[in-house]
Amino acid sequence: ETGVTQTPRHLVMGMTNKKSLKCEQHLGHNAMYWYKQSAKKPLELMFVYSLEERVENNSVPSRFSPECPNSSHLFLHLHTLQPEDSALYLCASSQEYRDLVRSPLHFGNGTRLTVT
């Protein structure tokens, strides 16, 4: 049990579908993150929320839409994705935003997304 739970674990969707990824953290952390992990590439930061406010959007296409209704929940809404968006999407949390010296990241198990 990592303290960060992601659902679903696997998702297959067509290019015209709309789906959402869910992340929940039970650690009382103030910051939550979405990362994309593609094969043979380093982890890429997509979005950061601190105290439910979006802090950064790392030039992510608008077909990815994050939502953070409270400090424990984070969603990633997906629509009209492309096959190259197939990847592992990881959610993480930390006690404070950018204070990763004293508050390391805690990751979920990820959602394996396949776009057909």
Partner 1 sequence: KNEVEQSPQNLTAQEGEFITINCSYSVGISALHWLQQHPGGGIVSLFMLSSGKKKHGRLIATINIQEKHSSLHITASHPRDSAVYICAVRSWGGGGADGLTFGKGTHLIIQP
Q: Which residues contact residue 2 at a Cβ distance below 8 angstroms, ignoring those fewer than 6 apart?
A: 106, 107, 108, 109
Interface with partner 1 (CB under 8 A), residue total: 26
Element holding 55 (H helix, E strand): strand 53-57
* Positions 70 through 99 that interact with partner 1 (CB under 8 A): 88, 90, 92, 98
* Residue among 13 and 88 whose Cβ is closer to partner 1: 88
Place of tokens 């969707």: 13
Say which DSSP state 62 is in: T
* Residue among 5 and 20 whose Cβ is closer to partner 1: 5
From the CB of residue 84, how many other CB atoms can be counted at a distance below 10 Å?
8
Per-residue binding letters, 2-41, with partner 1 (x by CB under 8 A) = x------x-----------------------x------xx
Say which DSSP state 50 is in: E
Contact residues for partner 1 (CB under 8 A)?
2, 9, 33, 40-43, 45, 48, 55-56, 58, 88, 90, 92, 98, 100-101, 104-110, 112
